[in-house]
Amino acid sequence: MMHATAQMCATDAGISQAKLAEIDALAVVNTVGPSLMDNPPAHLAHRLGAKSATQFLTITGGNTPQMLVNHFAEEIAQGHFSMVLLSGAEALDSLSKSAKAGQSLAWEDHSDLGQPNYLSQELPGSNETEARHGMVAPIVTYPLFENALRRHYARSLSEHQLAIGNMFAPFSTVARDNPHAWFPTERSAEEIATPTPINRYVGFPYTKYMNAVMQVNQSASVLLTSDVRAREMGIDESRWVYLHGRCDIQDIWHVTERINFHSSPALELGLTEMLNASGTGVDEISHFDIYSCFPAVVEITCDALGIATDNGRPLTVTGGLPYFGGAGNNYSMHAIASMMDRLRDNPGEFGLVTANGWYLTKHALGLYSTAVPAKPLAPNASTVLKKKISALSHPHFDPKAEGPGTIETYTVMFDRTGKPETGLVLGHLDDGRRFVAALPSEAKLLEQMLTEDPIGQQGKVRCSEPANHFVFSS
């Protein structure tokens, strides 16, 4: 699949397939699904005949496609490379179906091509206590942000549920018209927001139609060159799209230590830095692809940009992860490729791609246009911004919290039959320390939390193994 989309890059640029063998760097986005080969970049380079290309493999994170563009744009600007291929693919749909059918696809290839060269070091997204409470799974963690957002917006449970549906319905419309979408079906706000047997709750308040879907077969690749190299190869300048601004930034790493659960200071700081450095205002951006693994990411990004979710400009060029398809770590490569087409059709306009890794933890931002930049690409300010984020005052997390506490946010997790199964809360003790705790698995209590907001309610935390427990005050 990566080989096919790489060849499509050459066709799109109007160059011969043989030219792909001349790339001097190749970076592959790591898969979410089972590893089918020891060294994907080496396999792809071998297929392309790119024997001299320096090869890289990314770590986990939906931010990595845009991060790769940001990184290699600077490498090209500094003269280290002149033509770089970025690629990624997922085949979870075929792998899942074959497993269910008891069939072996025999795709594994462990040829001796050496070990991959990772572009950076892998770090777990959750601490040990978060992991013991299920916060490794995005379907558990992101609903915690959503319920905090609803409280922040001062909406009732029903008002907020429909607001999410209204925000995501236009995403499904874009997917309907996208020939590459995995679910090209338009859905109404009510259809997205209302739990039904086929649209059950996953992690409250998210229904199935609000979750990214990774069980897809999708691939995307992007070709980067210097302007000198593009001219040498005779690439028509009407195909050129420039990176006008970029930023990579990380929030306070662990969710349990975040300042709050309704905002991302890192995202706000990164967007401000990127727009200021490029000399571009938010009102000048006509096209967006805001990372949409879950609604909370879209809402928090729009808040950081200072725009409404219904500001009149579509928030996706693909259809988003729940409807276009959440191609693992590689989704934003599809967004970048789609943005290129959108901007070529609208010369001179600006498009913004935001990409997110872990749990609103890692952010990669890219501002694009066919217009020739008025000034060179500004240095990536990630190191300076990281220091600013690290200096922010934030709650101290106590993994062994005991005593009276107040709920800051929560979620209820459902089984596949649509029944509430477990509950989880994040909150603070009376002295301000942050805690995470499970709720009693009592059906009546969990069902009550679907209709009565528990945020702000008090109770008592008890430290235990494997999970802490929270009991409401009577």
Mean pLDDT throughout 195-209? 97
Confidence of residue 106 (pLDDT cuts 50, 70, 90): confident
State residue 92's pLDDT score. 94
The conformation of residue 167, written as its DSSP 8-state character, comes to H
Q: What is the pTM of this model?
A: 0.97
**Secondary structure of 324-391 as H, E, C letters:** CCCCHHHHHHHHHHHHHHHHHHCCCCEEEEEEEECCCCEEEEEEEECCCCCCCCCCCCHHHHHHHHHC
Q: Which is it for strands 458-462 and 362-369: parallel, antiparallel or unpaired? A: unpaired
Average pLDDT of the chain, as a whole number = 96
- pLDDT tens string 30-58: 999 877 888 999 999 999 999 999 999 99
% of the chain residues with pLDDT over 70: 100
The rounded distance, in Å, linking the Cα atoms of 233 and 20 is 11
* DSSP reduced 3-state for 201: strand
**Cβ-Cβ contacts under 8 Å for 51 (sequence gap 6 or more):** 21, 45
State residue 435's pLDDT score. 98
Residue extents of the structural domains in the chain: 149-199+208-390, 403-472
State residue 334's pLDDT score. 98
Does the pLDDT value for residue 110 go beyond 80?
no
Does the pLDDT value for residue 382 go beyond 90?
no
Confidence of residue 109 (pLDDT cuts 50, 70, 90): confident
The rounded distance, in Å, linking the Cα atoms of 288 and 349 is 11
State residue 383's pLDDT score. 86
User: What six digits make up the tokens of 163?
Assistant: 């607001």
State residue 105's pLDDT score. 87
Of 3.40.50.300, 3.90.1150.10, 3.40.47.10, 2.40.50.180, the CATH number of 149-199+208-390 is 3.40.47.10
Question: Phi/psi zone of residue 402: left (φ > 0), alpha (ψ -120 to 50 degrees), beta?
Answer: beta
- pLDDT tens string 145-189: 999 999 999 999 999 999 999 999 999 999 999 999 999 999 999
In this structure, the chain runs to a length of 474
The rounded distance, in Å, linking the Cα atoms of 256 and 6 is 40
Mean pLDDT throughout 374-386? 88
State residue 407's pLDDT score. 98
What amino acid occupies position 454? P
From residue 81, give the alpha-carbon distance in Å to each of 71, 226, 227.
11, 8, 12
% of the chain residues with pLDDT over 90: 93
Mean pLDDT throughout 386-404? 96
CATH architecture, range 403-472: Beta Barrel (2.40)
Mean pLDDT throughout 249-253? 97
**Among 63, 80, 78, 64, which Cα is nearest to 28's?**
64
Question: Which residues, listed in sequence order, are joined to residue 28 by a DSSP beta bridge?
Answer: 57, 87
The conformation of residue 228, written as its DSSP 8-state character, comes to H
Mean pLDDT throughout 414-436? 97
Does the pLDDT value for residue 384 go beyond 80?
yes
**Cβ-Cβ contacts under 8 Å for 35 (sequence gap 6 or more):** none
